[in-house]
Each structure stands twice: as C-alpha cells, then as structure tokens.
C-alpha cells in the first residue's frame, strides 16, 4: 500500500469502525423498524391493498430498502462530519496530508457501505418474512446485477448529500430538520407505498422531480422485473446526480465550507 493510499484507507477504516462497534445504535434500529413495517403493511394490511401483478409486501419491500439505505447513508455522513466539526476533532483529518478528494471519498464510501449493509439487512428481513409465511411467494431478485447497481448508486448519492448536510449544519437541530423535512417527505412521496401510475398524470409528472422515485422504481424493477419507469433512465439520472454531488463535496472541502475560518 502506498503512503498516500494508507491515509485514505485509514480514514475509511476509522469511519467504518465508528458504526460497526455500535450495532445497537446503527444496525438494530432500522432492522426492527422495517420488520414492523413489513408486519403492519405487508402482513396485517397487505391482503387488503390491491397492487397489480404482485403482493403488497413484495411491492413495498424495494421502497423500504431504499428508505433504510438512503436514510442511513445520509445520516452517517452528515453526523460523522458534523460531530467532528462540533467537537473539532475533524481537525485531525483536516491537518493531515490527505487530499480534499480523499477526504470526501472516505466519508462517502464508508457512509455508502453503511447504507448498503442496512439494505442487505432489510432485504434479509423481507426474505425471512416471505419464507416464513406459507401464503407468500418468496422474494425474488429478477435482475441481481441491477439490484447491486441501484443499491450502490443510491447509497453513494445520499452519502454525498450527507456530506453537504454535515458541512452545512450549525447545530444538531439542523440535522433533524434535514432528515424530517427533506429526506422523509421525499421518501413518502417517492412511490414507496403506492404505484406511480395510480396518480393522476399531473402528479406522475411532478413526481419525476423527486429523485427518490427513480431509486424506488429502479430497485423495484431490479427485484420484481417490472416498474413504471425505465430502469436505465433511473440509473442514468441517479449516476449523474451522484457525480455532481461528489464534485460539489470536493469543492466544498477545498474551499473549507463549514471547516475553516
């Protein structure tokens, strides 16, 4: 490992250790929350909700995976950076000979990995539920490569977004505001719980402005084999947005936004 790679790997390692050592705070809550979602919406209410071509639990699972993955990817990046700023220990990174790109890559990759692990956990809970219930068909992965591609891109995107949140926040309340008033509405109006084509044409078009729709519809296609939007369009849009956000992150670090006086 070269001298410069060592710095990048060390920061990624530090970031991963931070959440891996606290599974009760990081992995257990979303697992329990999503198990509850599946019990209520999938099992108890699911039989009463009609969705064309599939059971409701199969329909909502991709959305729940997206919801959990992006929330944790965003939360990890924003919290880690903001907490480091709040307690000023991010200076350990700032004063090190890491390039600004390396700093961003480390925060984004480690946060995206956390989102991916959450996606795997929620997927596992879904598989467990459908296998335990005799009336349910097991969860399938129609396009496994696309499943991986979507999970990777959406977690990278929200990790990159989380970096901006972590740099922008001036108080812990700001992190809550971003989660409650930006992320959550996007998720709930992102076709997680309803099919996009159930909406009127106007709201269908309006929904296309919501990046969450591309994520949910893309992963839905990858898992179920059908969705309202073309998955290639979804993956393309999400990849472009991710690239823009990572570039913006690097520029913010370079100019010391939220980091330097």
Partner 1 sequence: MTDNPSHDILFQFPLLPTNVTLAISATNLKKSYGEVQALDGISLSVEQGEFFGLLGPNGAGKTTFINTLVGLVKKSGGDASVFGYDIESDYREARDRIGLAPQEYNVDRFFPIREVLIHKAGYHGITDEEAASRAENALKTVGIYDKRNTRFDWLSGGMKRRFMLARALVTDPELLILDEPTAGVDVELRHDLWEIITELNDAGTTILLTTHYIEEAERLCDRVAIMDQGRKLTVASPESLMERGSDTIRLTLENAPNEPPAIDDERIESLWIEGAQLVVTARTGGEIAPALIRALDHNGHTVLDMNIERTSLEEVFVSLTNGEEPGKSVTSQQEVAQ
Is 209 near partner 1 (CB under 8 A)? no
Residue 65 vs 98, nearer CB to partner 1: 98
The phi, psi pair for 99, rounded to 5°, reads -75, 160
Binds partner 1 by CB under 8 A, chosen from 23, 28, 45, 89: 89
Q: In angstroms, what is the minimal distance from the CB of 19 to partner 1?
A: 10
Q: For partner 1, which is the closer residue by CB, 84 or 218?
A: 84
Alpha-carbon distance of 48 to 212, in angstroms, equals 26
Residue 97 tokens read as 């000979």
Task: Pick the binder of partner 1 from 24, 25, 48, 88 (CB under 8 A).
Answer: 88
For 137, other C-beta atoms within 10 Å of its C-beta total: 12
- Per CB under 8 A, the list member of 23, 92, 124, 185 interacting with partner 1 is 92
User: Would you call 40 helix, strand, or coil by DSSP?
Assistant: helix
Return the residues of window 13-42 that contact partner 1 according to CB under 8 A. Answer: 13-14, 17-18
Residue 87 as a binder of partner 1 (CB under 8 A): the answer is: yes
CB 91 within 8 A of CB 177: no
> What DSSP letter does each residue of 92-149 carry, written as one string?
HHHTSS--HHHHHHHHHHHHHHHHHHHHHHHHHHHHHHHHH-TTSPPP--S-HHHHHH
Q: Does 11 bind partner 1 (CB under 8 A)?
A: yes
Contacts of residue 222, Cβ cutoff 8 Å, sequence gap at least 6: 62, 141, 142, 143, 144, 146, 147, 149, 150, 231
Task: Kindly identify the residues of this chain, within the stretch 100-129, that bind partner 1 according to CB under 8 A.
Answer: none
Q: How far apart are CA 183 and CA 177, in angstroms?
A: 9
Question: Closer CB to partner 1, residue 7 or residue 211?
Answer: 7
Between residues 1 and 132, which has the closer beta carbon with respect to partner 1? Answer: 1
Cβ of 3: how many Cβ atoms within 10 Å?
7
Q: Give the residue with the Cβ less far from partner 1, 225 or 258.
A: 258
The nearest distance, CB 112 to partner 1, in angstroms, is 20
CA gyration radius for the chain? 19
Per CB under 8 A, residues contacting partner 1 are 1-4, 6-7, 9-11, 13-14, 17-18, 84, 87-89, 91-99, 255-256, 259-261
């Amino acid at each position: 490992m070269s001298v410069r790679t060592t710095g990048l790997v060390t920061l990624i390692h530090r970031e991963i250790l931070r959440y891996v050592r606290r599974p009760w705070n990081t992995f257990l809550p979303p697992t329990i929350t999503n198990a509850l979602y599946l019990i209520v919406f999938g099992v108890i209410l699911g039989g009463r909700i009609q969705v064309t071509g599939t059971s409701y639990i199969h329909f909502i699972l991709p959305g729940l995976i997206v919801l959990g993955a992006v929330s944790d990817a965003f939360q990890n990046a924003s919290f880690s950076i903001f907490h480091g700023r709040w307690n000023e220990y991010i200076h350990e990174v700032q004063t090190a000979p890491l390039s600004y790109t390396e700093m961003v890559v480390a925060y984004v990759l480690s946060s995206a990995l956390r989102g991916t692990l959450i996606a795997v956990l929620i997927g596992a809970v879904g598989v467990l539920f459908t296998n335990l219930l005799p009336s349910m068909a097991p969860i399938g992965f129609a396009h496994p490569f696309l499943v991986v591609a979507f999970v990777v891109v959406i977690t990278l995107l929200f990790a990159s977004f989380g970096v901006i949140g972590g740099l922008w926040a001036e108080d812990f309340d700001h992190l809550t505001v971003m989660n409650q008033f930006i992320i959550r509405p996007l998720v709930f109006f992102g076709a997680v719980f309803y099919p996009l084509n159930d909406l009127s044409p106007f709201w269908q078009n309006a929904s296309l402005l919501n990046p969450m729709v591309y994520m949910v519809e893309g992963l839905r296609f990858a898992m179920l084999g059908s969705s309202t939007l073309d998955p290639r369009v979804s993956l393309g849009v999400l990849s472009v947005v991710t690239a823009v956000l990572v570039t913006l992150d690097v520029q913010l670090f370079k100019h010391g936004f939220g980091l330097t006086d």
